[in-house]
Amino acid sequence: MQKRGNVSSNKHEMLDTFPLSVTVIGGGLAGSEAAWQLAHQGVAVRLHEMRPVRPTDAHHTDKLAELVCSNSFRSAALVAAVGLLKEEMRGLGSLVMAAADAARVPAGQALAVDRHVFAQYITDALAAHPLVEVRREEVQVIPSGPTVIASGPLTSPALSEHLRALFGREYLYFYDAISPVVTADSIDTHVAFRASRYDHGGDDYLNCPLSQAEYYQLVDDILAAEKVPEKAFEQCRYFEGCLPIEEMARRGKDTLAYGPMKPVGLTDPRGGTRPHAVVQLRQDDRAGTLWGLVGFQTKMTYPEQRRIFRTIPGLEKAEFVRLGSLHRNTFIESPRLLRPTLQLRQRDDLFFAGQMIGVEGYLESAAAGWLAGRNAGLQVKGQPLLTPPLTTALGAMIAYVTDPERKDFQPMNVNYGLFPGLPQRLRGREKKQAMADRALSDLASWQAEHGLC
């Protein structure tokens, strides 16, 4: 018997006879966005999410679009490509961006959210939509008919095997790591001070300062710590944008001090000096009761994490509500398999979206869901499909993951290095701002041309 959550039988029966319908597999950010865009076009959606019937190693709730790693959507500034992508997604009617804006918490120039408010917003919006039925069940075989697969990097083994058989090749894969979260009242604020680097965003971060001796001792402890053992058949392959701290430390004892622990732009107000290194904490919930260690994703064992992280000045009595962990993230060889419309090259009515296509990051995943959902809706209506302009953040990202000439494909965050060059020679922030201005202008023209609201 299939479990269908709280969907009413009337809604189920009505959607079963609806003339236009699409199946969406996966209730993460990409699947949720795809479902919303389909419903917005007047297409009925059966959104399959296997949680809580089948849990994953990383999720903790049964909410749609649960954020399992950080609560940050990264920079909100237009001079960052991900900041531009946010603005594009707002203009394209993104459900994920609406939820993120509604659940925002202080984070300087970054967009960070209360992860529970964020997931509840999306869960409620989709459950309330008359054209969306959320089915709580595991899909083990790709169904016939129009389908969007957005099952994410934690795709179930059964569906993974079916996809492997379909593609005729093994998946590529890498490992992703989760940072710890502590309670606010367990942080010693006589030691940790509030500040953002160079005062960008005010004092939204807590900073635990370390002397040179304390920093090198922490690095030694991290390197010597007991790690979660790898399985014999697993080849560890990390995404460069989310390296475990022990992997960074292994590359050189000063690597962390030039990475997540860099002290530049920070002055300890009590002594007026710059620490040798800092551990930054970012607010993780709207109430400010939870704080996450920024950039401290790790595969150390839980006892070692508690022991070592409590040696950090200001965290001696830290209470951990979540410890760091490592999980396997799976992605497909999209340049070989997908068209720029996110259709499978060998099947017109099968679309893919989210992290499994090699876009890295919350917003990038949602943006892929936006395009897959829009195009799946157009496909069932018999209308021309969309390919976003290459000069936009959305278009540049999709072009990267679907370029058939690309070799040695690896997941990628959106960045200005993916964009076409400008006619004029500019550098630095001026160049990025010019690219952002061009992108928003071209996006507006593209929206007008295709009647996109």
Give the pLDDT score at 53. Answer: 67
Question: Are 367 and 248 within one domain?
Answer: no
Q: Which of 2-6, 149-153, 328-332 has the highest mean pLDDT?
A: 149-153
Whether the predicted pLDDT of 317 surpasses 70: yes
Give the pLDDT score at 45. Answer: 97
Whether the predicted pLDDT of 408 surpasses 90: no
> Which phi and psi (to 5°) does residue 347 adopt?
-150, 115
User: Strand 277-283 vs strand 110-113: parallel, antiparallel, or unpaired?
Assistant: unpaired
User: Would you say 448 and 389 are in contact if contact means Cβ atoms under 8 Å apart?
Assistant: no
Question: Are 223 and 111 within one domain?
Answer: no
- Which contiguous run of DSSP H or E holds residue 402? helix 393-402
For residue 23, the SS3 value is: strand
Question: Are 204 and 162 within one domain?
Answer: no
How far is Cα 60 from Cα 294, in angstroms, rounded to an integer? 20
Give the pLDDT score at 97. Answer: 98
Q: Is residue 318 part of a domain?
A: yes
**For 205-216, what is each residue's pLDDT tens digit?**
999 999 999 999
At a CB cut-off of 8 Å and minimum separation 6, what does 307 contact? none
Whether the predicted pLDDT of 35 surpasses 60: yes
Q: Among residues 328, 355, 382, which one ends one of the domains?
A: 328
Q: What is the percent of the chain with per-residue pLDDT over 70, rounded to a whole number?
A: 89
Stated pTM of the model: 0.77
**Taking the alpha carbons of 246, 248, 251, 253 in that order, is the dihedral positive or negative?**
negative
Confidence grade of residue 14 (pLDDT, cut at 50, 70, 90): low
Give the pLDDT score at 57. Answer: 62
Question: Are 161 and 301 within one domain?
Answer: no
Angle between helix axes 393-402 and 362-381 (nearest 10 degrees) is 80
**Lowest mean pLDDT across 44-53, 83-92, 213-222, 440-449:** 44-53
Total domains in the fold of the chain: 2
Calculate ∠ Cα 7-9-11, nearest 5°. 70
Question: Are 72 and 165 within one domain?
Answer: yes
Q: Provide the β-strand partners of residue 188.
A: none
**For 337-355, what is each residue's pLDDT tens digit?**
999 999 999 999 999 999 9
Question: Are 84 and 116 within one domain?
Answer: yes
Give the pLDDT score at 232. Answer: 43
**For 274-303, what is each residue's pLDDT tens digit?**
999 999 999 988 888 889 999 999 989 999
Confidence grade of residue 3 (pLDDT, cut at 50, 70, 90): very low
Confidence grade of residue 86 (pLDDT, cut at 50, 70, 90): very high
Question: Are 217 and 262 within one domain?
Answer: yes
**For 134-180, what is each residue's pLDDT tens digit?**
999 988 899 999 999 998 877 777 888 888 888 876 666 666 677 89
How far is Cα 443 from Cα 87, in angstroms, rounded to an integer? 10
Q: Which of 337, 379, 439, 273 has its CA nearest to residue 34?
A: 379
Confidence grade of residue 5 (pLDDT, cut at 50, 70, 90): very low
Q: Is residue 1 part of a domain?
A: no
Residue tagged 């500040």 (tokens): 195
Q: Among residues 308, 328, 348, which one ends one of the domains?
A: 328
Question: Are 14 and 158 within one domain?
Answer: yes
**For 214-263, what is each residue's pLDDT tens digit?**
999 999 999 999 998 765 434 456 666 678 999 999 999 999 999 999 99
Question: Are 296 and 340 within one domain?
Answer: no
Whether the predicted pLDDT of 18 surpasses 90: no
For residue 280, the domain's CATH number is 2.40.30.260
How far is Cα 263 from Cα 274, in angstroms, rounded to an integer? 7
| More confident site: 398 or 288 | 398
Domain containing residue 224: 177-328
| More confident site: 165 or 314 | 314
Beta-strand ranges (E) seen in 403-449 are: none
Whether the predicted pLDDT of 120 surpasses 50: yes
Question: Are 312 and 340 within one domain?
Answer: no
Question: Are 248 and 101 within one domain?
Answer: no
Q: Among residues 278, 313, 328, which one ends one of the domains?
A: 328
Question: Are 24 and 109 within one domain?
Answer: yes
